[in-house]
Amino acid sequence: MYSEVIVTALAHVRNGVAPRDLWAALRSGFSAAGPGTRITIVVDAIRNDGPAELESTLRLIEAADAPIVGVGLTGIEDTWPTEDFAFIRREADRLGIGVEVHAGEMGPPASIAASIDVLGADRIGHGVAAIDDSALLERLVRDRVPLDVCPTSNVQIGLFPSLEAHPVARFWEAGVNMTISSDDPWLMGARLTDELRSVVRLAGLSRADLAELQRRAAQSAFLASAERLALEAHIDAWAAAGSD
């Protein structure tokens, strides 16, 4: 019913695609989902290219004719000082959009804390390094910080030797406010449905558990509160409609 997709828009523009054509192409593609499905965009900047890349991305967002709900910071952690990107929160607030920062993927647990404390991230992409820091894990659980976890992607890039070795089940047992994401479905060979099936198996989720997992995703979405509540109501109805 609702998806937020990450688009590295500036890369396409620098490859010669006019911004208006980029947004038009995305809107056209989203329309293929049909009625009853809404798709919005989180435009990300690659931190490897420095704060100027983020500044240019924010200018692109500001001028865009597209359903943009967030700005992201992705790429290799610690390639630039976190403080150099601190303006992301101020500018996102000015534009009325959310902030998602990829951290604790290839970087250390400290990169997750810095993304929250310095960058003001609403959500953390990946965050799997938190499994190695019990104090940070307790903080994430206590503060209900959303982690967008992508198990197949983490295995594909070599962070874990297998899905069975991935910490997603331990995150669930610890009460982490996680959502499940598909990262790059074409590149990683796993769609969101595949990821959810894997997590159901790995964590032994019941139908009620799966509904709760998706309820957390709805609560973490970059949407107005009324729209989030409507999504939750649909999830509740699905949970009540059947059994395992």
Please indicate whether residue 105 is annotated as part of the active site: yes
Give dist(CA 27, CA 88) in Å, integer: 25
The strand pair at 68-74 and 147-149 is best described as unpaired
- Please tell me which residue in 105, 173, 212, 232 is annotated as part of the active site: 105
Angle, in degrees to the nearest 10, between helices 134-143 and 109-117 = 40
Cα angle, residue 6 at apex, residues 81 and 128 outer, rounded to 5°: 60
Distances in Å between the Cα of 58 and the Cα atoms of 66, 126, 178 are 13, 23, 27
Pairwise CA distance, residues 38 & 79, whole Å: 35
Strand partners, 70: 42, 98
Catalytic residues: 105
